[in-house]
Amino acid sequence: MPRLLNENVLLDAIKRGVSNESFALAADVKNGEYVNLQFGDDFDGQVKPENFLVKASVAKKLLGMDEEPPEVVTEVEAVEEPAPVEQTAKPSPEAEPLPKKFRMDVKLDNLRLNKKFTPCAREVLPHILNLPNVKANIRLVVDISIPEGVPAETKKLVEDLCGEHDITGFSFDG
C-alpha cells in the first residue's frame, strides 16, 4: 500500500466516511461505552488523533437507527450550479437511439433529508443538467399527514417561512 501524501488525506477520508455513514467517530471509550458518538448529519467535522472509529452497524444500534425510519417520496431540487461535464465519446450512427428523458424519484429519510438529497443534487443531476439544450423542471414534492392537526402558531410560522423563501405552491388542507 502506498504511503499517504500527508495527514490531511487520512483526515479528509475519515470526515467523508463519518459524514456519509460508512463509520462513526467517538471522542473516547469509558466503561465500555463510546463517548460523544458522531455519525452522519450529527458529525461536527472535527477529527482528533485520540478519536475512535466505530463500525456503522454498531453506531446505528447505539443511536437507535437500526430500524428503517418512515420515508417520504419526493423529487429532488438542485441546490447548486452544476459543474461542467466533459463529453468524451460521440455515439456512432449504428448505436441504439439515445434516451431523450430522465426522471428520478428518490425516497428521502424525513429525519435526515440531506443524506440522499445532497448527493443527488451535487453528484447525479449535474451530469444531466450540463448536456446541451437541456430543459429541466426540478421540483421538491412534500405530502405530510398530521392526524392531530397543525397548531395555529405552527401554521403561521410555516406560512411566514414559505413567504420568506418565495415558496408559493403550498397549502394546508382539511
The DSSP secondary structure of 48-109, one letter per residue, reads -TT-EEEEHHHHHHHTT-SSPPPEEEE-----SPPPP-----PPPTTSPPPP------EEEE
Q: For 143-153, how does the pLDDT look when each residue is reduced to its tens digit (9 = 90+)?
A: 888 899 999 99
Classify residue 57 as left (phi > 0), alpha (psi -120 to 50) or beta.
alpha
The sign of the torsion formed by the CA atoms of 113, 114, 115, 118 equals positive
What is the pTM for the complete model shown?
Answer: 0.39
Q: For 8-39, how does the pLDDT look when each residue is reduced to its tens digit (9 = 90+)?
A: 888 888 888 888 888 888 888 888 888 888 88
Residues for the chain: how many in total?
Answer: 174
CA distance 16 to 64: 22
